[in-house]
Amino acid sequence: MTSKQRFTIILILGSLSTISPFSIDMYLPAFPAIAKDLGTTIAQVQLSLTSYLIGISAGQLLYGPLLDRFGRKYPLYAGLAVYLLASLGCALTTSAESLMLMRFIQAVGGCAGMVAAQALVRDIFPVKDTAKVFSLLVLVIAVSPMIAPTLGGYATAVFGWHSIFIILAFITGLILLGIYYVLPEGKTSDSSLSLKPKPVLINFFTVLKQAQFLVYALVGGIASSAPFAFISGSPDVFMNIYKVNEQEFGWIFAFLAFAMIGSSQLNHIFLKWFSSQQLIYIALLYQNIIGVILVTGTYFGWYGQYSLILLMFIFLTGQGLTSPNASALALAPFSKHAGSASALMGSFRMSIGALVSAAVSIWHDTSALPMVGMMGICAVCGLLVLLIGRKTIQHQINKKGVEDEPSNVVI
C-alpha cells in the first residue's frame, strides 16, 4: 500500500466516522432556535440528542453481524441511505417528539459508518499499526467539532435550523460516492455466519467473554462519555448562562475540540516510546486531577466564562490519549469477529454516552455543575474500571490462556 493510498483510505474512514459526530455537533448552536420554533424547552431539545445516542447504540448491534455476514460495503450503503432520508425527515419535523423519532432513525442509519470504519481498520491494517491508524482517525474526527458547530451556527443564523439537516444529507451523498469509487472492500461476505438470533448472540458472547475486550471497551466507553456531557450541556451553559450567540458558541466549541485534536497527535508520537496501556492510565489519572479542580471550582462559583473554558480545554486534552488506545486494545484479540466486536464496543460507548447526556438534561439547573460534574464522574469511573479490569485480564490469562489470538492480548 502506497502512502497516497493509505492517506486516501484513512481520509474516507475518517469521513465515515465523522457522520455521527457531525450530526451531533452541527445542530448544537440551533438548540435555542429549535426550542423556540417547536414551542418547547432546551431540556426537551437535549433529549433529541439522547434519542440519537440511543439509536447509535442499538444500531451498532445490528450492523455488527451484518458486516460480518455480508461484507463491509452493502450494509454500509443501506445504513447511509436510511440516514440520508431521516436527515430530510428531521428538516421537515414540526414537533419535539417527531424530532426525537427522526433523530433516532437517523442514528440507526448513520452508525453503519462508525462500525464499518472501525472494522475496516482491523481488516486493512496490521494489528501493530491499528493504534496509530485510530489516532489518525481521531484527527479527522476531531476536525468535525471544529467545523460543525461553526457551520451550524452560521447556517441557523442565515437559513434557519432546518438547513442543518439538508446539509447533512448532502454531505452523506458525497461520502457514498467516495465509498463506491475508492474504499477497499475489506473483509468479504461469510456465508457460514448466520443472522439467526442464537448464532448472533453466540458471536457476541464470544467477544464478551474475552476479558481484554470487555475491560477496554468499558474503559473507552466511560472515558469517552465525558465529551457527551460537554456536548449536551454546553449549549445551555454558554448560550443561556453566558449569553453567547450561535456563531460565538461555534468558535468556543471549535476551540475546545482542538484539545482533542492536539492530544490525538501527541498520542501518535507517544506510542513510539510508551504502550497503549500506559498512555490510558496516565490520561485517566490526569483527567481525574483536572476534574476535581473543575468540579470544585464550579460548585463554589470560582470560575467565569473564560476560566471555565480554559479548564475544560485542559481536561479534554486527555480524550485524545484514551479513546484511540482503548479502541486498539479492545479490538486486538479479534479477526473473525472484528465486526461484532466493533459493534459491541461502539454500543457500549453510545449507551453510556446516552445515559450521561440524559443525566445532564435531568440534572439541569442554572449553573455549569451538571455538565462538569458528569465529566468528572466519567473520568473517575473510567480509572476505577481500568484498575480493576487489569486484574481481571491477568486472571483470565493465568487461568485459561487466550483463545482467539494470544499474541494480541495484553494487560
Residues 257-288 pLDDT 10s? 777 776 766 777 777 787 777 888 888 888 89
The rounded distance, in Å, linking the Cα atoms of 78 and 192 is 22
Q: Does residue 316 or residue 2 have the better pLDDT?
A: 316
Q: What is the pLDDT of residue 152?
A: 86
The rounded distance, in Å, linking the Cα atoms of 254 and 304 is 19
pLDDT tens digits, one per residue of 329-366: 777 776 666 667 777 777 777 778 778 877 877 777 77
- Position 131 pLDDT exceeds 80: no
Q: Residue 306: which of 244, 240, 369 has the closest Cα?
A: 244
Q: Residue 65: which of 206, 176, 170 has the closest Cα?
A: 206
- The domain 3-184+194-408: what is its CATH number? 1.20.1250.20
Span 141-151, average pLDDT: 73
- Position 83 pLDDT exceeds 90: yes
- Position 295 pLDDT exceeds 80: yes
Q: Which triple of cell numbers denotes residue 93?
A: 419535523
Q: Are 389 and 219 in contact (CB under 8 A)?
A: yes
pLDDT tens digits, one per residue of 393-409: 666 666 665 444 444 55
Q: What's the predicted TM-score (pTM) here?
A: 0.68
Domain boundaries, the chain: 3-184+194-408
Q: What is the pLDDT of residue 135?
A: 67
Q: Residue 106: which of 32, 181, 12, 26 has the closest Cα?
A: 26
The rounded distance, in Å, linking the Cα atoms of 84 and 97 is 20
Q: What is the pLDDT of residue 405?
A: 42
Q: What is the pLDDT of residue 191?
A: 62
pLDDT tens digits, one per residue of 212-236: 787 888 888 888 788 778 877 787 7
Categorize the per-residue pLDDT at 89 as very low, low, confident or very high, splitting at 50, 70 and 90.
very high
Q: Does residue 80 or residue 397 have the better pLDDT?
A: 80
Q: For a pLDDT cut of 70, what percent of the chain falls above it?
A: 85
Q: What is the pLDDT of residue 407?
A: 42
Q: Residue 112's Cα: distance from chain center in Å?
A: 13
Q: What is the pLDDT of residue 197?
A: 72
The rounded distance, in Å, linking the Cα atoms of 119 and 218 is 18
Q: Which triple of cell numbers denotes residue 317?
A: 486534552
- Count Cβ atoms below 10 Å from residue 49 Cβ, excluding itself: 27
The rounded distance, in Å, linking the Cα atoms of 274 and 254 is 29
- Position 5 pLDDT exceeds 50: yes
